[in-house]
Each structure stands twice: as C-alpha cells, then as structure tokens.
Amino acid sequence: MNVPQPVNASPDLGIRVVYMLIFAVVFWLLCWVLAVTTIVQLVVRLLNGRPHPDLVRFGGSLARYARQIIDFLTFVTELAPYPFTSWPAEG
C-alpha cells in the first residue's frame, strides 16, 4: 500500500506561494472566459443546430488548463502550468 510521504518545506515555498496567488487570479479569469465561451457556444448551437468545432476544441483545452491550475494549487503537482509549461495538448 502506498502511503503518501509528507512534503518538506523547501526554500522555494515562498516563490510557490507567489505563483499560487497569480494562478488563483488566472483561474478566476478562466472561469469568466469559460462562462462567456459557454454562452457563445449555446447561441451558436441554437442558431446552427450544432456546436462550433473551434469552440469545442477551445473549451476542451480550457478545461485541461483549468485542471493543471487546480492540480498546482492543491499541491497535486509541483509543475507550474502554462506559461511555465506548454499549453495543454488535445487528447
């Protein structure tokens, strides 16, 4: 059975806290972008009868980016999300 090991405080914790504050704001903005994207996609679906493929791809990548931010903020990973890594790929 795998028992999680406690994470030791590192000298970089201060920098991580700054990054966490920045990414918390980015996540807040991301939620607004998601809301606008959802409304636009709904309107497109109502008018055309099908969702717009570019908005579908954008929404998917936005969801993967949100997951990266959440994983970083909750200490699931030490890897900071975009722009410190590449934008989340499809798939």
What does the pLDDT look like over 48-85, one tens digit per residue?
999 999 999 999 999 999 999 999 999 999 889 988 88
Per-residue model confidence (pLDDT) at position 62: 93
Tell me if 55 sits within 8 A of 37, measured CB to CB. Answer: yes
Per-residue model confidence (pLDDT) at position 91: 62
Tell me if 64 sits within 8 A of 88, measured CB to CB. Answer: yes
* Angle of CA points 66, 72, 73, to nearest 5°: 90
Question: Tens of pLDDT along 8-25?
Answer: 556 688 899 999 999 999
